[in-house]
């Protein structure tokens, strides 16, 4: 069962005002609803300088330690879904490139949406694969959307932090705090058919974080695809069965991987590893799209 919170605070109006400068510049006319589900891949930066050992590998086992950070706009005949929102907030963009530790971006997110004809106000649903900072940096901009989240993930995101939770992987409400009062579809450790027709389905794949999610898309032309979230970061995790030591629950990650692999085999879906540098380089980027 899903619980729907219908809290739409005045703060949302402030969010809308805050993003207007990004939306207006380069804004295109909002496209008509497509006849079938469509996916735009947006550039939300890359990650360099992370060590193989951090992810459980020995030096030299990874073909490429670099990672990319896409964001995704799903456009459906019945609405839109934003999947993950980047690694550096648009408000911190100071030029090309803008860096923050291992993260670097060359383009803010909202102008990329605007170039496609969309503003945050046009986004029906927001879903985040998980709460790590490289996936939620612009989440506050979508506080006016309906947020789809697992109850265990939401609880972790807004739990009172103690000393143990500090660090780069700890939830950072500065990025997503405004979602606390958003209209919310609360999931209970379950999959969720976003538009009710089987073409956009959130898959519950916990372990990396308590309520980690992956996304299944069924395209009319491209066929079925699964976006991994951070269930996998590198293709070698999949081939070698390596689970990062910083996952909240490594055994849960292994089970989620096994369950998703069985689903992929049954559905015939391609798996797109979101952070995968080599695979991502082959994919079409916005304004091109998959359908």
Flag whether pLDDT at 63 surpasses 90: yes
Angle at 44 between CA 41 and CA 46, to 5 degrees: 115
Tokens standing for residue 72: 């995704």
Q: 272 or 167: which carries more pLDDT confidence? A: 272
290 CB-side CA count, 13 A = 21
Residues 146-153, mean pLDDT to the nearest whole number: 98
Beta-strand pair 184-187/3-5: antiparallel
- Residue 223: C-alpha distances to residues 37, 80, 218, 258, 271 (Å): 11, 19, 6, 22, 12
User: Can you give the pLDDT at residue 179?
Assistant: 98
Flag whether pLDDT at 25 surpasses 80: no
How far is 27 from 45, CA to CA, in rounded Å? Answer: 21
User: Can you give the pLDDT at residue 254?
Assistant: 98
User: Order of strands, edge to edge, in the sheet holding 79-83?
Assistant: 3-5, 184-187, 146-150, 125-127, 79-83, 67-76, 38-47, 103-105, 98-100
Q: Is the peptide bond before 97 cis (omega within 30 degrees of 0)?
A: yes
User: Can you give the pLDDT at residue 78?
Assistant: 97
pLDDT-wise least confident of 12-21, 99-108, 159-168, 256-265: 12-21
Q: Is the peptide bond before 112 cis (omega within 30 degrees of 0)?
A: no
177 CB-side CA count, 13 A = 6
Domains for the chain: give ranges and CATH numbers: 3-26+35-281 (3.60.15.10)
The dihedral of CA 278, 106, 39, 222: what is its sign?
negative
Tokens standing for residue 49: 């300088």
Confidence of residue 19 (pLDDT cuts 50, 70, 90): very low
Flag whether pLDDT at 5 surpasses 90: no
Flag whether pLDDT at 17 surpasses 60: no
Confidence of residue 16 (pLDDT cuts 50, 70, 90): very low
Q: 26 or 185: which carries more pLDDT confidence? A: 185
Q: What is the pLDDT of residues 208-262, one digit of tens each?
A: 999 999 999 999 999 999 999 999 999 999 999 999 999 999 999 999 999 999 9
How far is 21 from 128, CA to CA, in rounded Å? Answer: 24
């Amino acid at each position: 069962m899903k619980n729907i919170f219908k809290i739409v605070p005045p703060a949302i109006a402030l969010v809308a005002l805050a993003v207007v400068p990004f939306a207006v510049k380069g804004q295109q006319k909002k496209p008509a609803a497509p006849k079938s589900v469509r996916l735009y891949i947006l550039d939300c930066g890359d990650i360099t300088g992370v060590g193989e050992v951090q992810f459980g590998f020995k030096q030299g086992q990874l073909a490429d330690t670099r990672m990319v950070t896409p964001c995704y706009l799903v456009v459906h005949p019945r609405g839109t879904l934003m999947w993950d929102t980047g690694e550096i907030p648009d408000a911190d963009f100071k030029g090309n490139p803008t860096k923050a530790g291992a993260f670097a971006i060359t383009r803010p997110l909202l102008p990329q949406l605007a170039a496609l004809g969309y503003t945050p106000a046009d986004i029906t649903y927001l879903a985040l694969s998980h709460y790590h900072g490289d996936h939620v940096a612009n989440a506050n901009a979508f506080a006016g959307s309906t947020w789809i989240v697992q109850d265990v993930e939401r609880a972790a995101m807004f739990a009172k932090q103690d000393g143990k939770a500090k660090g780069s992987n700890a939830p950072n409400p500065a990025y997503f705090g405004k979602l606390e009062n958003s209209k919310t579809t609360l999931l209970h450790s379950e999959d969720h058919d976003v538009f009710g027709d089987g073409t956009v389905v959130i898959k519950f794949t916990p372990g990396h974080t308590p309520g980690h999610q992956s996304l299944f898309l069924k395209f009319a032309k491209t066929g079925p695809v699964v976006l991994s979230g951070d269930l996998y970061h590198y293709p070698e995790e999949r081939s070698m069965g390596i689970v990062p030591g910083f996952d909240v629950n490594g055994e849960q990650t292994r089970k989620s991987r096994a369950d998703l692999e069985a689903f992929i085999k049954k559905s015939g879906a391609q798996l797109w590893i979101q952070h995968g540098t080599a695979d991502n380089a082959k994919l079409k980027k916005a304004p091109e799209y998959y359908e």
